[in-house]
Amino acid sequence: MILGIDEVGRGPWAGPLVVGAVILGSAEIEGLDDSKKLTKKRRETLDEVIREQAAAWALGWVSASELDDVGMSQALRLATRRAVKQIQSQCKANNVAFDEIIIDGTVNFLADTALERYVTVIAKADGLIPGVSAASIIAKVARDQFMAEQDVVYPGYGFASNAGYGVAKHRVAIERLGVTPLHRLSFAPLQKYVGSMKSQNLHQKKSSALPNESPVGYPQKIIRDPRKVAQIFSEDITPVDFVGTEDVTQVDALNATPEAEKLATTRQIGDKGEQTAADWLAADGHEIIARNWRTRYCEIDIVSIKDDVLYFTEVKYRKNSRYGDGLAAITNKKQRQMRFAAELFMIKHPQHEGRDMRMLAIAVDRDYNTECLVV
């Protein structure tokens, strides 16, 4: 199973950084997407469903003061490790195993841990991998709820509406009221308030506003000493009952059910269609370098090279035109999936970095005629 990880709250001037971690397991939840693309109401609805149906979920929090102490990069690592350690505890308690970790973005925040080799880092995974989308959603909802709570504690800053981002009204409020313990004084626009009397007075007056527990789980133990924060990074994170990642489907020819026989026949037809497409590409001067390249969340029918250009080909077979020919299946959504698969292939095969890339779709009809479309 996949453990999806995503963060929210990197850019705000105030409030915590939050990392969500979700193992969906067998849960199939409709409507998952990048949390930023969903309405507030839709996010909150999905948040409830995710917490109820996911095999495991967790939130890793880093306070503004911790972020100021260690910097953004280390704060992201710290929040990620806090979330993962919670997930591991749930896995042990509930006999749940994950065998792959997908982190949204471009940085592996589990580097230098025992889990590093299980991680794949994918840009925009929050809109492509369901588990990462779920992590994005629960983190966003939790952080927004916390900031709404703080709007009551620190009135005048508009935290319920701006979630701590440096919008105009928030900037005006800072100039008028000063900063709070929620503000990130390491951010350039706020550095002038470091050590200011306003900051000190507000900190003394409002320090009790940070509860030990809240409905969204913030904060975990707040550590203000950088040396103590650094100690966390020396704690090992170990795998939990990892299992093999290969998905193998076999059909027993002697004991096959009608359904299995139909599936085998469909595969044989599809394989023949793909072979026809591969033969067409080879005749056109392509060097086939991969067939049926798959991961647990995407696949590419054919990968080939021609004139130093890398081609990713989707093969569609149609035995009739009732639902359109094969190329009709290459919808905008399918094209996004194809691009994602191509980007992931490049991540897994860095030797091809620097090559131009193109996507192809080849339709094969029942007579094994081909039609090609550059997507």
Residue-level pLDDT at 247: 30
- Residue percentage of the chain with pLDDT more than 90: 53
Residue-level pLDDT at 363: 85
The residue whose two tokens read 């998952």 is: 32
Q: Which CATH architecture has domain 258-374?
A: 3-Layer(aba) Sandwich (3.40)
Q: Greater confidence, 321 or 274?
A: 274
For the chain, domain boundaries: 2-233, 258-374
* pLDDT computed for residue 197 by the predictor: 42
pLDDT, one tens digit per residue, over 121-155 is 998 899 889 999 999 999 999 999 999 999 999 99
Q: Which of 104, 88, 77, 131 is nearest to 242 (CA)?
A: 88
Q: Exposed, middle or buried, 268 (CB in 10 Å: 0-12/13-18/19+)?
A: exposed
Report d(CA 331, CA 154) in Å as an integer.
Answer: 48
Rounded Cα gap, residues 320 and 179, in angstroms: 67
Q: Which residues of 307-327 are buried (b: 16+ CB within 10 A; e: fewer)?
A: eeebbbbbbbbbeeeeeeebb
pLDDT band per the 50, 70, 90 thresholds, residue 256 = very low
Q: Is this structure's pTM higher than 0.85?
A: no
Looking at domain 2-233, what is its CATH homologous superfamily?
Answer: Ribonuclease H-like superfamily/Ribonuclease H (3.30.420.10)
Residue 366's pLDDT is what? 67
Amino acid 43: pLDDT: 95
Residue 353 pLDDT greater than 70, yes or no: yes
- The predicted pLDDT at position 345 comes to 87
Percent of the chain with pLDDT over 70: 74
Strand partners, 304: 288, 311
